[in-house]
Amino acid sequence: MASYSQKTYAQRGKEHAHPLVKELFAIMERKQSNLSLAADVSTKAELLALADTVGPYICVLKTHIDVVSDFDADLVERLQELAAKHDFLIFEDRKFADIGNTVKLQYGGGIYRIADWAHITNCHVIPGEGIIQGLAEVGKPKGRGLLLLAEMSSAGMLATGAYTDKNVEMAIANDFVIGFIGSRRFTEERDLITMTPGVGLHASGDALGQQYRTPTKIITENGSDIIIVGRGIYGPGKDTAAEAQRYREAGWTAYLNRLGPK
Ligand code: BMP
């Protein structure tokens, strides 16, 4: 059987059992985009403006909702409107890491009510499989999907070897899990997507341990599915829309090169 990395996103969407992943692949194909924006800005106005500017070029908007200083329920409504307007999914990068019972409360409730609006969220499996079960109890009835942090992009990160392998085992065994955060394709047992942060064409890293790799490395060579880009797209002196287009093109070209000649 051909590796999932050798199939088109369209084909994988057709064959996939999870409605959310089907929708994601369909968006990617429609927009010819495997780009996710890491929208790490600290006010509601900035987040909405950024999502509106970059929206046409992305398949997924990744948020850290707890860095928005003036968060309110209206922000979530407006983000959902932008998701509908520009045809993207929302991924709240919450990195849950507690016991099942606690993450249930954190995912479904509190101020943010993440499960009500984020199509995708993620967790560390450090507490064991109960974290996935707790999150699934809240998210599954709503049609949501979960990514496991099988690896991280930062220097000296500890998610390696047996720990990464355990992530893969747990993902295969739990149908609420739709994939991973990591740098490569992890398994052929089922079609679990990989989304990769730490992607940049502009720099090799930052002062706090972030490490950047190119779309070619991540998509063409490593078989990951989606690149996550933040500061490469926005920031002082940057033409945000132009940078988003540049990354969209780089990601899509890397994907076409992976598929090879028709
Ligand atoms: P930037 O491209 O500006 O470095 O942003 C990367 C984004 O991806 C940040 O939102 C960060 O929280 C996230 N991220 C990461 O950089 N490495 C990981 O291993 C996991 C992440 O979620």
What separation in Å is there between the alpha carbon of 2 and the centre of ligand 1?
Answer: 31
Place of tokens 């085992």: 169
Q: What is the DSSP string of 169-186?
A: HHHHH-TTEEEEESSS--
Atom of ligand 1 nearest to the CA of 200: 2
Q: What is d(CA 18, CA 20) in angstroms, rounded to the nearest whole number?
A: 6
Report the pLDDT value the prediction gives residue 63, as an integer from 0 to 100: 99
Please give the positions annotated as active site. 93, 95, 98
Report the pLDDT value the prediction gives residue 150, as an integer from 0 to 100: 98
- Split at pLDDT 50, 70, 90, the class of 244 is very high
- Split at pLDDT 50, 70, 90, the class of 202 is confident
Q: What is d(CA 235, CA 174) in angstroms, rounded to the nearest whole number?
A: 38
Q: Is 40 annotated as a binding residue?
A: yes
Q: What is d(CA 244, CA 232) in angstroms, rounded to the nearest whole number?
A: 9
Of the candidates 71, 73, 85, 74, which has an alpha carbon nearest to the alpha carbon of residue 61?
A: 85
What separation in Å is there between the alpha carbon of 217 and the centre of ligand 1?
Answer: 17
> What is residue 200's three-state secondary structure?
coil
| Atom 9 (ligand 1) nearest CA | 38
* 50 in contact with ligand 1, CB cutoff 6 A: no
Report the pLDDT value the prediction gives residue 2, as an integer from 0 to 100: 78
Whether 235 shows a pLDDT value over 90: the answer reads: no
Q: Is 262 annotated as a binding residue?
A: no
Average pLDDT rounded to a whole number, residues 172-194:
98
| Atom 15 (ligand 1) nearest CA | 197
Whether 140 shows a pLDDT value over 70: the answer reads: yes
> What is residue 140's three-state secondary structure?
helix
Amino acid at 261: P
* 228 in contact with ligand 1, CB cutoff 6 A: yes
Q: Please provide the average confidence, as pLDDT, over all residues in the chain.
A: 97
- Split at pLDDT 50, 70, 90, the class of 120 is very high
Residue 217 tokens read as: 């490395």
Q: What is d(CA 31, CA 97) in angstroms, rounded to the nearest whole number?
A: 33
| Atom 14 (ligand 1) nearest CA | 197
Percent above pLDDT 70 for the chain:
99
- Split at pLDDT 50, 70, 90, the class of 131 is very high
Average pLDDT rounded to a whole number, residues 179-187:
98
What separation in Å is there between the alpha carbon of 176 and the centre of ligand 1?
Answer: 23
* 44 in contact with ligand 1, CB cutoff 6 A: no
Radius of gyration of the chain (CA): 17
Non-local CB neighbours of 86 within 8 Å, separated by 6+ positions: 51, 52, 55, 56, 58
The 10s digit of each residue's pLDDT in 36-86 is 999 999 999 999 999 999 999 999 999 999 999 999 999 999 999 999 999
> What is residue 61's three-state secondary structure?
strand
* 229 in contact with ligand 1, CB cutoff 6 A: yes
What separation in Å is there between the alpha carbon of 197 and the centre of ligand 1?
Answer: 5
Report the pLDDT value the prediction gives residue 89, as an integer from 0 to 100: 99
Average pLDDT rounded to a whole number, residues 199-208:
93
